[in-house]
Structure 1
Amino acid sequence: MANTPEIAFYHAPNTRSTGVRVLLEELGAPHRLHVLNMRAGEHLGDAYRAINPMAKVPAIRHGEALVTEQAAVYLYLADLFPEAGLAPAITDPGRGTYLRWMVFYGSCFEPAVIDRHLQREPGPRAMSAYADYDSVIARIAEALKPGPYLLGDRFSAADILWGSALGWTMGFGLVAPDPALSAYVERVRGRPAFQKVAAADAQLAQAHEAAAGTA
Protein backbone atom coordinates (compact mmCIF):
# COMPACT_ATOMS: atom_id res chain seq x y z
CA MET A 1 0.00 0.00 0.00
CA ALA A 2 3.07 2.26 -0.02
CA ASN A 3 2.15 3.93 -3.31
CA THR A 4 -1.51 4.54 -2.54
CA PRO A 5 -2.80 8.04 -1.72
CA GLU A 6 -3.07 9.09 1.90
CA ILE A 7 -6.38 8.53 3.65
CA ALA A 8 -7.93 11.66 5.14
CA PHE A 9 -10.30 10.71 7.95
CA TYR A 10 -12.92 13.16 9.28
CA HIS A 11 -13.82 12.32 12.85
CA ALA A 12 -15.52 13.58 15.99
CA PRO A 13 -15.11 11.83 19.35
CA ASN A 14 -17.92 9.74 20.80
CA THR A 15 -19.82 9.55 17.52
CA ARG A 16 -20.41 6.91 14.87
CA SER A 17 -16.98 7.69 13.46
CA THR A 18 -15.28 6.26 16.56
CA GLY A 19 -15.74 2.77 15.15
CA VAL A 20 -14.01 3.83 11.94
CA ARG A 21 -11.08 5.08 14.00
CA VAL A 22 -10.92 1.63 15.60
CA LEU A 23 -11.07 0.02 12.16
CA LEU A 24 -8.17 2.14 10.92
CA GLU A 25 -6.19 1.06 13.98
CA GLU A 26 -7.03 -2.62 13.42
CA LEU A 27 -6.04 -2.30 9.75
CA GLY A 28 -2.78 -0.52 10.57
CA ALA A 29 -3.86 2.01 7.95
CA PRO A 30 -1.80 5.21 7.70
CA HIS A 31 -4.11 8.20 7.69
CA ARG A 32 -4.40 11.89 8.45
CA LEU A 33 -6.90 12.66 11.19
CA HIS A 34 -9.18 15.68 10.80
CA VAL A 35 -11.02 16.25 14.06
CA LEU A 36 -14.29 18.19 14.10
CA ASN A 37 -15.51 19.83 17.29
CA MET A 38 -19.24 19.21 17.05
CA ARG A 39 -19.85 21.11 20.26
CA ALA A 40 -18.56 24.17 18.42
CA GLY A 41 -20.60 23.32 15.31
CA GLU A 42 -17.58 22.77 13.07
CA HIS A 43 -19.41 20.02 11.19
CA LEU A 44 -22.06 22.55 10.12
CA GLY A 45 -19.64 24.91 8.42
CA ASP A 46 -19.19 25.26 4.68
CA ALA A 47 -15.73 23.66 4.78
CA TYR A 48 -17.01 20.34 6.07
CA ARG A 49 -20.28 20.46 4.13
CA ALA A 50 -18.09 20.44 1.02
CA ILE A 51 -16.91 17.03 2.23
CA ASN A 52 -20.30 15.76 3.39
CA PRO A 53 -23.34 17.96 2.71
CA MET A 54 -25.21 15.94 5.36
CA ALA A 55 -22.78 17.36 7.95
CA LYS A 56 -22.23 13.92 9.48
CA VAL A 57 -19.18 11.87 10.38
CA PRO A 58 -17.47 9.63 9.44
CA ALA A 59 -16.10 10.56 6.05
CA ILE A 60 -12.87 9.69 4.30
CA ARG A 61 -11.05 10.98 1.27
CA HIS A 62 -8.64 8.63 -0.50
CA GLY A 63 -7.14 10.16 -3.62
CA GLU A 64 -10.10 11.07 -5.83
CA ALA A 65 -12.48 8.89 -3.83
CA LEU A 66 -14.73 10.53 -1.26
CA VAL A 67 -16.67 8.11 0.92
CA THR A 68 -19.42 9.02 3.37
CA GLU A 69 -22.01 6.93 5.25
CA GLN A 70 -20.79 4.68 8.00
CA ALA A 71 -21.19 1.25 6.37
CA ALA A 72 -19.71 2.46 3.09
CA VAL A 73 -16.62 3.73 4.89
CA TYR A 74 -16.17 0.40 6.69
CA LEU A 75 -16.58 -1.58 3.48
CA TYR A 76 -14.19 0.63 1.53
CA LEU A 77 -11.43 0.55 4.12
CA ALA A 78 -11.64 -3.15 4.92
CA ASP A 79 -11.42 -3.99 1.20
CA LEU A 80 -8.58 -1.50 0.71
CA PHE A 81 -6.39 -3.46 3.14
CA PRO A 82 -7.13 -7.13 2.33
CA GLU A 83 -3.93 -8.26 4.02
CA ALA A 84 -5.48 -7.40 7.38
CA GLY A 85 -8.13 -10.08 6.83
CA LEU A 86 -11.06 -8.02 8.15
CA ALA A 87 -13.25 -8.49 5.07
CA PRO A 88 -14.00 -11.79 3.31
CA ALA A 89 -12.99 -11.75 -0.33
CA ILE A 90 -15.62 -11.57 -3.07
CA THR A 91 -15.22 -15.31 -3.67
CA ASP A 92 -15.37 -16.21 0.03
CA PRO A 93 -18.66 -17.90 1.05
CA GLY A 94 -18.68 -15.71 4.16
CA ARG A 95 -18.86 -12.55 2.06
CA GLY A 96 -22.65 -12.65 1.89
CA THR A 97 -23.05 -12.90 5.66
CA TYR A 98 -20.49 -10.14 6.15
CA LEU A 99 -22.30 -7.80 3.75
CA ARG A 100 -25.65 -8.59 5.33
CA TRP A 101 -24.51 -7.48 8.76
CA MET A 102 -22.69 -4.43 7.47
CA VAL A 103 -25.94 -3.23 5.88
CA PHE A 104 -28.37 -4.53 8.51
CA TYR A 105 -27.14 -2.00 11.05
CA GLY A 106 -28.19 1.10 9.12
CA SER A 107 -31.19 -0.32 7.29
CA CYS A 108 -32.81 -2.22 10.16
CA PHE A 109 -31.19 -1.94 13.58
CA GLU A 110 -30.78 1.79 14.01
CA PRO A 111 -34.21 2.74 12.59
CA ALA A 112 -35.86 0.11 14.80
CA VAL A 113 -34.03 1.32 17.91
CA ILE A 114 -34.80 4.98 17.28
CA ASP A 115 -38.47 4.33 16.52
CA ARG A 116 -38.79 2.27 19.71
CA HIS A 117 -37.05 4.96 21.77
CA LEU A 118 -39.27 7.73 20.36
CA GLN A 119 -42.35 5.52 20.72
CA ARG A 120 -43.07 5.73 17.01
CA GLU A 121 -44.92 3.04 15.14
CA PRO A 122 -42.78 1.36 12.46
CA GLY A 123 -45.59 1.60 9.94
CA PRO A 124 -47.29 -1.23 8.07
CA ARG A 125 -45.04 -4.29 7.86
CA ALA A 126 -45.10 -4.22 4.06
CA MET A 127 -43.72 -0.67 4.13
CA SER A 128 -41.29 -0.95 7.03
CA ALA A 129 -37.61 -1.36 6.20
CA TYR A 130 -37.06 -3.44 9.33
CA ALA A 131 -40.41 -5.22 9.88
CA ASP A 132 -40.56 -4.94 13.68
CA TYR A 133 -38.22 -4.25 16.58
CA ASP A 134 -38.44 -7.68 18.22
CA SER A 135 -37.54 -9.43 14.98
CA VAL A 136 -34.51 -7.21 14.53
CA ILE A 137 -33.15 -7.97 18.02
CA ALA A 138 -33.93 -11.67 17.62
CA ARG A 139 -31.96 -11.89 14.38
CA ILE A 140 -28.93 -10.27 16.00
CA ALA A 141 -29.08 -12.64 18.97
CA GLU A 142 -29.36 -15.61 16.61
CA ALA A 143 -26.36 -14.47 14.59
CA LEU A 144 -24.21 -14.12 17.70
CA LYS A 145 -25.30 -17.36 19.35
CA PRO A 146 -22.69 -19.61 17.64
CA GLY A 147 -19.98 -17.03 18.49
CA PRO A 148 -17.63 -15.70 19.22
CA TYR A 149 -18.10 -13.30 16.29
CA LEU A 150 -20.62 -12.68 13.53
CA LEU A 151 -18.56 -14.85 11.18
CA GLY A 152 -17.92 -17.52 13.78
CA ASP A 153 -14.27 -17.71 14.79
CA ARG A 154 -13.33 -14.98 12.32
CA PHE A 155 -13.16 -11.39 13.55
CA SER A 156 -14.14 -8.89 10.86
CA ALA A 157 -14.91 -5.23 10.28
CA ALA A 158 -18.56 -6.09 10.92
CA ASP A 159 -17.69 -6.86 14.54
CA ILE A 160 -16.15 -3.42 14.98
CA LEU A 161 -19.38 -1.88 13.73
CA TRP A 162 -21.62 -4.06 15.90
CA GLY A 163 -19.43 -3.98 18.99
CA SER A 164 -19.67 -0.20 18.86
CA ALA A 165 -23.39 -0.11 18.03
CA LEU A 166 -24.54 -2.56 20.66
CA GLY A 167 -22.25 -0.98 23.23
CA TRP A 168 -23.68 2.51 22.90
CA THR A 169 -27.30 1.45 22.48
CA MET A 170 -27.22 -0.77 25.56
CA GLY A 171 -25.18 1.82 27.41
CA PHE A 172 -27.86 4.46 26.83
CA GLY A 173 -30.70 2.07 27.61
CA LEU A 174 -31.96 1.98 24.03
CA VAL A 175 -31.54 -1.79 23.88
CA ALA A 176 -32.32 -3.98 26.88
CA PRO A 177 -29.25 -5.58 28.50
CA ASP A 178 -28.72 -9.15 27.39
CA PRO A 179 -25.96 -11.51 28.66
CA ALA A 180 -25.02 -12.76 25.20
CA LEU A 181 -24.96 -9.28 23.65
CA SER A 182 -23.06 -7.85 26.62
CA ALA A 183 -20.46 -10.62 26.42
CA TYR A 184 -20.02 -9.92 22.71
CA VAL A 185 -19.55 -6.20 23.33
CA GLU A 186 -16.99 -6.88 26.05
CA ARG A 187 -15.12 -9.27 23.77
CA VAL A 188 -14.92 -6.74 20.94
CA ARG A 189 -14.25 -3.71 23.11
CA GLY A 190 -11.52 -5.56 24.96
CA ARG A 191 -9.31 -5.58 21.89
CA PRO A 192 -6.23 -3.32 22.06
CA ALA A 193 -7.42 -1.14 19.17
CA PHE A 194 -10.68 -0.34 20.96
CA GLN A 195 -8.86 0.43 24.19
CA LYS A 196 -6.40 2.75 22.44
CA VAL A 197 -9.10 4.65 20.57
CA ALA A 198 -11.32 4.94 23.66
CA ALA A 199 -8.50 6.64 25.55
CA ALA A 200 -7.68 8.96 22.64
CA ASP A 201 -11.33 9.88 22.09
CA ALA A 202 -11.78 10.60 25.80
CA GLN A 203 -8.97 13.13 25.60
CA LEU A 204 -10.47 14.73 22.49
CA ALA A 205 -13.92 14.92 24.05
CA GLN A 206 -12.50 16.55 27.17
CA ALA A 207 -10.65 19.13 25.07
CA HIS A 208 -13.83 19.91 23.12
CA GLU A 209 -15.84 20.31 26.30
CA ALA A 210 -13.20 22.64 27.72
CA ALA A 211 -13.21 24.69 24.52
CA ALA A 212 -16.97 24.98 24.78
CA GLY A 213 -16.74 25.98 28.44
CA THR A 214 -18.70 22.93 29.61
CA ALA A 215 -15.91 20.95 31.26
Structure 2
Amino acid sequence: MTLDLVFYTNPMSRGQIARWMLEEVGEIYETILLDYGTSMKAADYRAINPMGKVPAIVHEGRVVTECAAICAYLADAFPAAGLAPPVDQRHDYYRWLFFAAGPVEAAVTNKALGFVVPEGRERTAGYGSFDDTIDALESAVAGDGWICGDQFTAADVYVGSQIDWGLMFKSIPTRPAFEAYAARLRARPAYQRQKEIDGALIAEMQKQG
Protein backbone atom coordinates (compact mmCIF):
# COMPACT_ATOMS: atom_id res chain seq x y z
CA MET A 1 0.00 0.00 0.00
CA THR A 2 1.40 3.41 -0.97
CA LEU A 3 1.64 5.83 1.92
CA ASP A 4 0.35 9.41 1.80
CA LEU A 5 3.93 10.69 1.98
CA VAL A 6 6.39 9.32 -0.60
CA PHE A 7 10.06 10.29 -0.78
CA TYR A 8 12.11 9.86 -3.96
CA THR A 9 15.84 9.93 -3.39
CA ASN A 10 19.31 8.57 -3.88
CA PRO A 11 21.40 8.38 -0.69
CA MET A 12 24.37 9.98 -2.48
CA SER A 13 22.52 13.19 -3.24
CA ARG A 14 20.88 16.25 -1.75
CA GLY A 15 18.15 13.81 -0.83
CA GLN A 16 19.95 13.58 2.49
CA ILE A 17 18.64 17.06 3.28
CA ALA A 18 15.05 16.07 2.62
CA ARG A 19 15.41 12.86 4.62
CA TRP A 20 16.75 14.81 7.59
CA MET A 21 13.69 17.07 7.37
CA LEU A 22 11.40 14.05 7.15
CA GLU A 23 13.04 12.59 10.24
CA GLU A 24 12.56 15.89 12.08
CA VAL A 25 8.87 15.86 11.12
CA GLY A 26 8.50 12.35 12.48
CA GLU A 27 5.75 11.16 10.13
CA ILE A 28 5.76 7.76 8.42
CA TYR A 29 6.95 7.97 4.84
CA GLU A 30 7.74 5.62 1.98
CA THR A 31 11.19 5.79 0.37
CA ILE A 32 11.70 5.09 -3.32
CA LEU A 33 15.34 4.84 -4.38
CA LEU A 34 16.33 5.99 -7.84
CA ASP A 35 19.53 5.47 -9.82
CA TYR A 36 21.32 8.21 -11.69
CA GLY A 37 20.93 7.96 -15.43
CA THR A 38 18.29 5.19 -15.33
CA SER A 39 15.21 5.35 -13.11
CA MET A 40 15.91 9.00 -12.28
CA LYS A 41 15.59 9.84 -15.98
CA ALA A 42 12.68 7.50 -16.72
CA ALA A 43 9.40 8.92 -17.99
CA ASP A 44 7.41 7.99 -14.89
CA TYR A 45 9.76 9.90 -12.62
CA ARG A 46 10.10 12.83 -15.04
CA ALA A 47 6.34 13.15 -14.72
CA ILE A 48 7.03 13.93 -11.06
CA ASN A 49 10.17 16.02 -11.56
CA PRO A 50 10.85 17.07 -15.18
CA MET A 51 14.45 17.80 -14.17
CA GLY A 52 15.03 14.10 -13.56
CA LYS A 53 16.70 14.91 -10.24
CA VAL A 54 16.15 14.03 -6.61
CA PRO A 55 14.85 14.64 -4.07
CA ALA A 56 11.13 14.92 -4.54
CA ILE A 57 8.20 14.21 -2.27
CA VAL A 58 4.60 13.44 -3.08
CA HIS A 59 2.25 14.22 -0.21
CA GLU A 60 -1.38 13.27 -0.70
CA GLY A 61 -0.86 13.59 -4.45
CA ARG A 62 0.93 16.94 -4.27
CA VAL A 63 4.44 17.06 -5.72
CA VAL A 64 7.19 19.16 -4.16
CA THR A 65 10.74 19.34 -5.50
CA GLU A 66 13.83 21.39 -4.52
CA CYS A 67 15.26 20.88 -1.04
CA ALA A 68 14.44 24.30 0.38
CA ALA A 69 10.85 24.03 -0.86
CA ILE A 70 10.53 20.51 0.57
CA CYS A 71 11.76 21.70 3.96
CA ALA A 72 9.38 24.66 4.03
CA TYR A 73 6.45 22.58 2.77
CA LEU A 74 6.90 19.84 5.35
CA ALA A 75 7.11 22.38 8.15
CA ASP A 76 3.74 23.79 7.09
CA ALA A 77 2.14 20.44 6.28
CA PHE A 78 2.96 19.04 9.72
CA PRO A 79 2.75 21.99 12.13
CA ALA A 80 2.75 19.75 15.21
CA ALA A 81 6.48 19.20 14.64
CA GLY A 82 7.11 22.87 15.43
CA LEU A 83 9.54 23.40 12.55
CA ALA A 84 8.31 26.82 11.43
CA PRO A 85 7.94 29.98 13.51
CA PRO A 86 4.58 31.71 13.85
CA VAL A 87 3.68 33.51 10.62
CA ASP A 88 4.34 36.96 12.08
CA GLN A 89 7.83 35.87 13.17
CA ARG A 90 9.11 34.34 9.94
CA HIS A 91 11.36 37.18 8.79
CA ASP A 92 14.64 35.41 9.61
CA TYR A 93 13.18 32.06 8.62
CA TYR A 94 12.38 33.15 5.06
CA ARG A 95 15.39 35.42 4.76
CA TRP A 96 18.04 32.79 5.44
CA LEU A 97 16.20 29.85 3.90
CA PHE A 98 16.10 31.67 0.56
CA PHE A 99 19.59 33.11 1.02
CA ALA A 100 20.99 29.60 1.32
CA ALA A 101 18.99 28.36 -1.68
CA GLY A 102 20.07 31.32 -3.82
CA PRO A 103 23.32 33.19 -3.10
CA VAL A 104 25.00 30.48 -1.02
CA GLU A 105 24.25 27.66 -3.46
CA ALA A 106 25.39 29.77 -6.42
CA ALA A 107 28.53 31.15 -4.77
CA VAL A 108 29.71 27.78 -3.44
CA THR A 109 28.97 25.94 -6.70
CA ASN A 110 30.68 28.55 -8.85
CA LYS A 111 33.77 28.53 -6.66
CA ALA A 112 33.94 24.73 -6.73
CA LEU A 113 33.76 24.83 -10.53
CA GLY A 114 36.54 27.41 -10.70
CA PHE A 115 34.32 30.27 -11.82
CA VAL A 116 35.33 33.67 -10.46
CA VAL A 117 33.13 36.72 -10.91
CA PRO A 118 35.10 39.24 -12.99
CA GLU A 119 36.07 42.37 -11.11
CA GLY A 120 33.39 45.00 -11.42
CA ARG A 121 30.69 42.47 -12.38
CA GLU A 122 29.60 41.55 -8.85
CA ARG A 123 26.15 43.07 -9.27
CA THR A 124 25.53 40.90 -12.33
CA ALA A 125 26.21 37.72 -10.36
CA GLY A 126 23.57 38.55 -7.78
CA TYR A 127 25.46 37.08 -4.84
CA GLY A 128 28.27 39.60 -5.29
CA SER A 129 31.34 37.68 -4.23
CA PHE A 130 32.03 34.39 -2.49
CA ASP A 131 33.61 36.13 0.50
CA ASP A 132 30.68 38.51 0.97
CA THR A 133 28.25 35.60 0.78
CA ILE A 134 30.15 33.57 3.38
CA ASP A 135 30.44 36.56 5.69
CA ALA A 136 26.67 37.07 5.49
CA LEU A 137 26.06 33.37 6.10
CA GLU A 138 28.24 33.49 9.19
CA SER A 139 26.13 36.32 10.60
CA ALA A 140 23.04 34.09 10.38
CA VAL A 141 24.48 31.37 12.62
CA ALA A 142 26.64 33.36 15.02
CA GLY A 143 25.73 32.90 18.67
CA ASP A 144 24.51 29.91 20.62
CA GLY A 145 21.01 29.48 19.22
CA TRP A 146 19.36 28.75 15.91
CA ILE A 147 18.53 30.88 12.91
CA CYS A 148 15.20 31.86 14.45
CA GLY A 149 16.54 32.30 17.97
CA ASP A 150 15.65 29.56 20.43
CA GLN A 151 13.47 27.62 17.96
CA PHE A 152 15.02 25.03 15.67
CA THR A 153 13.25 25.24 12.30
CA ALA A 154 13.26 23.98 8.74
CA ALA A 155 15.62 26.86 7.95
CA ASP A 156 18.23 25.20 10.16
CA VAL A 157 17.80 21.93 8.29
CA TYR A 158 18.44 23.56 4.93
CA VAL A 159 20.99 26.22 5.89
CA GLY A 160 22.62 23.78 8.28
CA SER A 161 23.00 21.17 5.55
CA GLN A 162 24.80 23.70 3.38
CA ILE A 163 27.22 24.48 6.20
CA ASP A 164 27.62 20.88 7.36
CA TRP A 165 28.42 19.64 3.84
CA GLY A 166 30.55 22.69 3.12
CA LEU A 167 32.75 21.99 6.12
CA MET A 168 33.07 18.30 5.25
CA PHE A 169 33.92 18.91 1.59
CA LYS A 170 36.00 22.06 2.24
CA SER A 171 33.74 24.17 0.02
CA ILE A 172 32.97 26.49 2.92
CA PRO A 173 35.85 27.85 5.02
CA THR A 174 36.28 26.63 8.56
CA ARG A 175 35.22 29.31 11.02
CA PRO A 176 34.41 28.99 14.74
CA ALA A 177 30.77 30.04 14.20
CA PHE A 178 30.28 27.43 11.48
CA GLU A 179 31.97 24.69 13.50
CA ALA A 180 29.89 25.43 16.61
CA TYR A 181 26.66 25.56 14.63
CA ALA A 182 27.46 22.29 12.85
CA ALA A 183 28.20 20.62 16.17
CA ARG A 184 24.75 21.58 17.45
CA LEU A 185 23.15 20.22 14.30
CA ARG A 186 25.04 16.93 14.47
CA ALA A 187 23.79 16.36 18.01
CA ARG A 188 20.16 16.26 16.88
CA PRO A 189 18.62 12.75 16.91
CA ALA A 190 16.92 13.28 13.53
CA TYR A 191 20.24 14.28 11.94
CA GLN A 192 21.84 11.15 13.35
CA ARG A 193 18.97 8.95 12.12
CA GLN A 194 19.32 10.39 8.63
CA LYS A 195 23.04 9.70 8.57
CA GLU A 196 22.49 6.15 9.80
CA ILE A 197 19.77 5.42 7.21
CA ASP A 198 21.56 6.93 4.24
CA GLY A 199 24.93 5.60 5.37
CA ALA A 200 23.53 2.06 5.39
CA LEU A 201 22.00 2.55 1.94
CA ILE A 202 25.29 3.87 0.54
CA ALA A 203 27.18 0.93 2.02
CA GLU A 204 24.72 -1.51 0.45
CA MET A 205 24.99 0.19 -2.95
CA GLN A 206 28.79 0.06 -2.80
CA LYS A 207 28.71 -3.61 -1.82
CA GLN A 208 26.56 -4.39 -4.83
CA GLY A 209 29.09 -2.61 -7.02
> Normalised by the size of structure 2, how large is the TM-score?
0.91
Q: Distance in 2 between matches of 1:80 and 1:104?
A: 22
The one-letter code of the counterpart of 1:19 is I
> Which of 107, 110, 134 is equivalent to 2:102?
107
The one-letter code of the counterpart of 1:25 is E
**Alpha carbons 1:6, 1:63 under 8 Å: kept:** yes
**Alpha carbons 2:25, 2:81 under 8 Å: kept:** yes
3-state DSSP of counterpart to 1:106: helix
Q: Distance in 2 between matches of 1:74 and 1:181?
A: 21
Other-structure match for 1:37: 35
Q: Gaps (5+ residues) in structure 1?
A: none
**Alpha carbons 1:163, 1:189 under 8 Å: kept:** no
3-state DSSP of counterpart to 1:126: helix
More displaced 10-residue stretch of structure 1: 7-16 or 115-124: 115-124
Q: Distance in 1 between matches of 2:117 and 2:55?
A: 27
Alignment partner of 1:142 is 2:130? no
**Alpha carbons 2:127, 2:133 under 8 Å: kept:** yes
Q: What RMSD, in angstroms, separates the aligned Cα atoms of the two structures?
A: 1.6
Q: Distance in 2 between matches of 1:122 and 1:186?
A: 32
CA-to-partner distance for each residue in 1:59-104, whole Å, 9 max, x for gaps?
A: 111123111111111111101111111111323x2x0110111111
Other-structure match for 2:63: 66
Task: Write out aligned runs for 1:60-209 (5 A).
Answer: 60-91=57-88, 93=89, 95-122=90-117, 124-209=121-206
Q: Distance in 2 between matches of 1:16 and 1:136?
A: 21
Cα drift, residue 148 of structure 1: 1.9
> Normalised by the size of structure 1, how large is the TM-score?
0.89
**Alpha carbons 1:146, 1:152 under 8 Å: kept:** no
> Which of 26, 36, 46 is equivalent to 2:24?
26
Q: Distance in 1 between matches of 2:39 and 2:199?
A: 19
